[in-house]
Chains A and B, each alone.
Chain A
Amino acid sequence: MPGKLKAKIVAGRHLPVMDRASDLTDAFVEVKFGNTTFKTDVCPKSLNPQWNSEWFKFEVDDEDLQDEPLQITVLDHDTYSANDAIGKVYIDIDPLLCSEAASVISGWFPIYDTIHGIRGEINVLVKVELFNDLNRFRQSSCGVKFFCTTSIPRCYHVATVHGFVEELVVNEDPEYQWIDRIRTPRASNEARQRLISLMSGELQRKIGLKVLEMGGNAVVGYLQCFDLEGESGLVVRAIGTACTLDKLSSGSVSNTNTNTHVHPTAAAAPSHLAHGCRSTHNSPVHSACNSQRLTQNFSVSVPTLIFTGMRESGEVSDRRAETVFGEEVPLFSVPPTPFRALPSSSPPPFTPSKPCSRQSSSSDTDLSLTPKTEKPLQVRHRPGIYFCPSSPTLPTDTLSFAGSDAVVCGHGSGHRITNPPLSPISYNQSDSALLRKSVSFNEDLLLAASGMGSGGSAGKEAGPLKMLLRQQTQTALEQREFPFFTLTSFPAGFLVHAGGVVSARSVKLLDRIHNPDEPETRDAWWEEIRQEIKSHAKALGCHAVVGYSESTSICEEVCILSASGTAAILNPRYMREGCLDFGNTDHRFEDPSPRSCGFCHIPYDELNMPFPAQLTLCQHCRQQKVPDVLFTTIDLPPEAAVTGKGCFVQARLCRLKKKAQGEVNATAISNLLPFMEYELHTQLMNKLKLHSMNALFGLHIQISVGENMLLGLASATGVYLTALPAPGGIQIAGKAPIDLSNEHHIFTIQKRINDTIAKNKELYQINPPELTEEVIGSPIPEPRQRSRLFRSHSESSDELSELDLSHGKKDAFVLELDDTDALEDIHSLLTDAPPPNGFFSCNTEIMPGIYKWTSAVQMFTSVRVFRLSNVNLTNQGLNKIFTDLCEDLLKSFYFKLRSLIPCCLCHLNFTVAVPEEELIQVAVTAVAMSYDKEQTHEKPVDKLIIRGNSETEEQLQFPMELCADSSSVNMQTSKFSGVPESSSISHRDGYSAILPNLIHFCFVFFVLLFFFFVSMSLLLLCMYGGVRAFVRSCVCVRVCSLAASIDYGSFADRCTTWLELLRLKAHTIRRGSVKTISSMDRCSPLPEGRSRSLRSNCSFGGSTVTVVKMTPLSFLPGTRIIKYLGIINMFFIRETTSLREEGGVSGFLHSFIAEVFAMVRAHVAALGGNAVVSYSMKECVLMENPNKNQAQCLINVSGDAVICVLDTDQEVTPTPTTVTQTCGIGAEGTA
């Protein structure tokens, strides 16, 4: 589709003085697109030139339109010497290529120079005329909309979610390419900026093509990243979720509204509450963590060798693991298969353990994948299609399948029930096929599905609904190579169950990219990781991964690739192409579990748990099993039942590492990784308990590599999910109780911990009603009588501490004080200060328990760099420094933003880096939003959220019958009662406790691991027990004892005396008529008053500058987004040779960040927008050389430009019937 690009240069202002003699400037402008350049006349002697140029016309291919930015250079005319450049403006044309976005770009842009920063402004007009596309084989993808937002953009309706799209583009980095040539820094910086701009344009175009191929028209959750690999080049990669979006019409919105509010499940819930039964299950360790993977595509047959195969891409493999796991060595001695990643780093202490092998073999035999997912797999032996068609298949008896799975399921070895009818697999058969899981699954499932007839009609068959549901979904999903979704919040009903976090990391050695046009190596690396993620999700009984993201950390030639997401089961209706004609059959597969707790229910079979977890009946619906703790990378579903407020939980960790080069370095890093993951998870878990919460959302773990250390930072938002059992306390146990003072010490620590827990409960208002009748009617077998413990926790903390001390630690969540490390850990646990009064914080979009946001919003970016001058640092010392650094940052935010109190810091996004040997850099972007002090409990459902729901629900055309009115409640209950029989069928073990609901839910905290590594799970277990114990000699014994004593699950059970209040609350709210809520809200004087001030800001007459609000969230409180104008994706480099004069690095970076904000705002304003949502700073690389008085910084930011209007603006409508109606009106207004 060729097009005509037109640009007009209107005027400039505030130009710098370029001619010292006259104190004036003779400015002219060059406008360049592709290879065509136009020039304006020189406007002599003016700092505010008026060019008012003609329209410069470029006739170009749409491919170029997508790739190239419009490049505007402002110069100072010089008769005798070369013209001096004043600065440049790059304008991304992309928003103009989409009919629904902006139609013209017009406004003042800052003129940016990589050395001097912003130097005046220029007023530009840009238009595009596109001709119709006649070429079927086009290379362009104009019209595909891109959104950074990781939810369905408000004001759109999603017809289909197509799935994962990814692409990467590789090039040589001009900085390095030119290093030997004579060049100015400015030239290379500008070349880099331009190149990256080009590359991201190309990337976007290619992704767009993929989306078009899939039949979609938009990419949601578009995440683009740069890897500055140094000499080996520059990689720009992106992932996203392809969707078909329709613009919402106002009419359709309004009718959905009621659904959300009068939610049937919510209404039904109270009945369960009344005679809830308390589960007393003792849950075994259930977070498996640790992942690590040392690279190599080629597997290795001989233990101990570090490199195998040809060193194509410089990947390293660490063979140590094999040596260690003696028994498994044979497994690996198979012909190299490209996608095999070998476990690299099992730490020596664990390795030769007997239990290890026992474990692995047991999981081997019970091969649990099939029963778990209940998929009727027809397993056959297939060559790996995706990976290596050429590779020989593995021997049938390989452990590899089991191994990969065992990561998840190894622990739960107690009961393995295979369900023959459901899973007609014989293990012998399966092994080899499963080796390449993704492949075989895909095809098998297809077969299976077709064999059963179309999923929809199969409902009446004996198989439980659950199975059918799964099949459907799976067929839809498994057709895709990667059933991944970068979304973190979903239309209601989309997410059925969340399994837990899956993640994978891989250490790679960078090597020169020889052929940038064929970036196969990098592709292969990511593919490997994605496969791994996929397999982990499967191991959790999930067919999809949501909240998926990828990242890298590069230090010299070593690169850690990371990917993580949340294993989930999704509602098949949205997966299928053309889901609209699904018709009535749909309802049959409606998951009867209430939406407020349904996503917590375990997705895997409780008899074949992928890891030892402690399951209890859902505290909310009493129908399904839930895990004791749930970790996810997604946002808290708006409909989730939550008790109290959420809080920001962060685990920080530093690990020293010897300086090394190449493979040695990579090996060292990969050896450290699992320990770091383990430690981080332990910290998270401890802190979660300390906050008396039971779930983490928005979990993001970053591991950053430096020359001599690794930094790990895990951030998440802790909440108390009403559906999950109450977490217990933390008990301290001394290893050497002989020492009296020690005992006293332990006692004081214990007391402090208990006090903290009590304080936190109060602070976050976690006060579920105590459950007095413990186990009445509990269908869960072997309820352990631990009522005494329950109570103890609800009573005074003094009593508690006594109890805890006297109590056997087997049942408790015990922290052992066996050495100084442990002591440090506990101290660090307690150093986290709670936010000051009036502040809350979270890293998710939604903060449970806070409603009525005002429109006061302050987005900020803060960067700190800390120099470690102390040479002899220990890990503990480092940890302390790092922790303090993060805590201090938070404290200073609270202080700075105190004028917004009461206020919540949302979407706290921490990024750590080790820019130099002794530097730690922490960058934070977040938004502070103030809320109304009067948080009426009557309406704990945020208006905004309600709206979000109702919109999205409508978008998905949720069946009305289920949620329209109270009658649906009855319907549902009857369903419940009706189904139990089928449940008993499906679960042959005869656990009467298992309710009919379709999908078991649960969560798991699950971090990826190695495919082939059967014993990894064991390893994890060990690690949970205590890395500290390594020193001890007897590993086996250690493993066992630790497994017993360190038991998160049991801990949780121990002190669950609390019931959830929130559910009740939620009901009241939801029952309350929507109308009243909405009208009340809109009439409430305070928000209105505040928003008025916002309006006045926006309409500030005296200034020509539009106020542009920015937020990392997908919405702005108090406003509605009425139009998305396009994606903002900008990359800037700034360099200075006068660092001191600019106020040192702080001054330099301060002004640079301010400049970046200014440029983002200017571009948004030029598109006609007044806000940026989903803003994020992806990259902030600062390099300094104070001796030379120089510094350089690169920043990459992105977001969605939008137009939003105040909610109050719709008050024109005299009849405020429903919230959504007003929405609709607004949308209409803009349409």
Chain B
Amino acid sequence: MSVELDVFVGNTTIMDEEVYQLWLDGYTVNDAVKVRMEGGVLEECEASADVLLSDTMDQYRTFQMCERLLHSPAKLANQLLFQIPPHRQVVLIERYYTFDDAFVREVLGKKLSKGTKKDLDDVSAKTNVTLKSCRRQFDNFKRVFKVVEELKGPLVENIRQHFLLSDKLARDYAAIVFFANNRFETGKRKLQYLTFQDFAFCAGQLINNWTVGAVDNMVEDMDVDLDKEFLQELKELKILITDKDLLDQHKSLVCTALRGKTKAFNEMEANFKVRIKSHGHHILHVLAHLLAHGHFIEPCRSDRWTTADMRLYLTHYTNSAHILDTFKHQVVWDRYMGVVKSCIFKMYHD
């Protein structure tokens, strides 16, 4: 004796947000039922486990049918199959595209390829996010990436319009797309302490200042690719390190400005050159090397600079360069240091 078929269809599609979350999290129907039972829905509503199972199955089915629409959220608003109140649509989409920080940390900067997808079970094991959920998140990244890749116009705006996401989520996706496109590896041991939000912030900075889009806003991929001209120009900045005079001049300027203002002055003075060196190093992978590899942050950290020290130092370091007479690349310098500064501020935490 068994229930062969059991469906419930409302004119307005009924969705329970709790069940939706369980579904998104990749719970099986049975696990979801368990979770719900523990949550105490049964007591509230005088229901039995069968009822709960039936309801969960039904909702899962609904979500599965909706999933196709969620892949192109714009369709959700004008499809006819499900009558979903607009505020609910927003929630559905937003939740569907929300990802786990733990998961994204693992995937950030990797190529969104089939190979990566195959390795998701490792990621799942490591992050404690179910494989199903990992796949959904990975597919979301890939989908967004694919759609946005070929679009003109600002990245965040494109994502927001095509996927009807909130501003915050759209920015996060922009970061993911940016990292995936430039393949900045974020998995390095030294970077482990950084959260996705740190990276997202940096990505935002880079997108806003260093990409093609920062100059010209009607190019394909404008926000994903770094501005090549700018990168070329960056090479000119090497002069600050390679030119002995300039370096000394710059150093003394900074030191003068900072003297007495920070406890870490001595260490800083001693390490000035080392720190600065990293600037010019392999300029093409700025983030990866300058920020990410920790050439700058790591020493400061070991010197126990406070955040205030860091701010002070960077501010003066940036400003002093303007005073150097022989340093001609002020514009590039600003564009460069502006981003570096804010990124370092963001990343310099415990």
Residues of chain A whose beta carbon lies under 8 Å from any beta carbon of chain B: 13-14, 108, 110, 118, 121, 836-837, 858-870, 881, 888, 891-898, 919, 921, 1097, 1100, 1102-1105, 1107-1110, 1143-1147, 1149-1151, 1153-1155, 1157-1159, 1161-1162, 1182
Contact = CB atoms under 8 A, between A and B. Distances in A.
Contacts of A1147: 61, 64-65
Contacts of A1161: 11, 80, 83
A892 B65 contact: no
B83 A892 contact: no
Contacts of A863: 5-7
Contact of B5 (A864, A898, A1105, A1158): A864
B52 A1103 contact: no
Contacts of A919: 4
A1103 B81 contact: no
B125 interface: no
A897 B58 CA distance: 13
B78 A1153 contact: no
A1146 B78 contact: no
B39 interface: no
A83 to B, nearest CB: 25
A1149 B185 CA distance: 47
A685 B10 CA distance: 33
A867 B14 contact: no
B81 to A, nearest CB: 5
Interface string B40-81: 000011111011101101100110110000000001011111
Given A865-B4, A894-B45, A1107-B83, A859 B11 contact: yes
A440 B79 CA distance: 60
Given A896-B14, A1150-B61, A1150-B62, A866 B3 contact: yes
Given A13-B78, A1102-B86, A862 B11 contact: no
Interface of B: 1-14, 44-48, 50-52, 54-55, 57-58, 61-62, 64-65, 75, 77-83, 85-86, 89
Contact of B65 (A870, A1105, A1154): A1154
Contacts of A1153: 7, 9
Nearest to B78: A1104
A1109 B11 contact: yes
Nearest to B85: A1097
B5 A1145 contact: yes
A858 B10 contact: yes
Nearest to B48: A891
Nearest to B52: A895
A121 B69 CA distance: 14
B65 A865 contact: no
Contacts of A1103: 77-78, 86, 89
A1172 to B, nearest CB: 9
B45 A121 contact: no
5 contacts: A836-B45, A859-B11, A862-B9, A1154-B65, A1158-B80
B77 A867 contact: no
A921 B3 CA distance: 10
Contacts of B12: 858
Nearest to A866: B3
Contact of B9 (A861, A866, A868, A1107): A861
Given A860-B9, A892-B51, A1146-B7, A118 B81 contact: yes
A1110 B62 CA distance: 19
B80 A110 contact: yes
A1155 B85 CA distance: 17
Contacts of A1157: 9, 11, 83
A860 B9 CA distance: 5
B85 A1146 contact: no
Contacts of A859: 10-11
Given A888-B50, A1103-B86, A1158 B81 contact: yes
A891 B51 CA distance: 7
A858 B11 contact: yes
Q: Which of A865, A919, A1145, A1154 has the most CB of B within 10 A?
A: A1154
B16 to A, nearest CB: 8
A894 B41 CA distance: 12
A898 B45 contact: yes
Contacts of B75: 14
B151 to A, nearest CB: 17
Contacts of A867: 1-4
Contacts of A1110: 11
Contacts of B80: 108, 110, 118, 121, 1105, 1158-1159, 1161-1162
Given A865-B3, A866-B1, A867-B2, A1154 B50 contact: no
A1133 to B, nearest CB: 18
B110 to A, nearest CB: 27
A1146 B57 contact: yes
Given A867-B3, A1150-B58, 6 more contacts: A862-B8, A864-B6, A866-B4, A881-B1, A891-B51, A1151-B81
A870 B5 contact: no
B49 to A, nearest CB: 11
B1 A860 contact: no
Nearest to B14: A896
Q: Would you list the 3 A-B pairs with minimal beta carbon distance, nearest first?
A: A865-B5, A1103-B77, A865-B4
Given A1097-B85, A1097-B86, A1146-B57, A1102 B7 contact: no
Contact of B81 (A110, A868, A894): A110
Contacts of A1150: 7, 9, 58, 61-62, 65
A895 B47 contact: yes
A1162 B80 CA distance: 7
Given A861-B9, A862-B9, A1104-B78, A888 B51 contact: yes
B78 A862 contact: no
A1107 B87 CA distance: 13
A1100 to B, nearest CB: 5
A1102 B83 CA distance: 14
B242 to A, nearest CB: 53
A869 B4 CA distance: 11
A1145 B4 contact: yes
Contacts of A1102: 77, 86
Nearest to A901: B45
A862 B45 contact: no
B90 to A, nearest CB: 9
A867 B52 CA distance: 20
A1154 B4 contact: no
B134 to A, nearest CB: 23
B321 to A, nearest CB: 49
A118 B82 CA distance: 12
B52 A1146 contact: no
A1165 to B, nearest CB: 9
A1105 B84 CA distance: 10
Contact of B77 (A868, A1097, A1105, A1143): A1105
A864 B2 contact: no
A921 B80 CA distance: 28
Contacts of A1104: 77-78
A868 B3 CA distance: 9
Given A118-B80, A866-B2, A1100-B86, A860 B11 contact: yes
A1144 B52 CA distance: 20
Given A1103-B86, A1162-B80, A894 B47 contact: yes
B80 to A, nearest CB: 4
Nearest to B72: A14
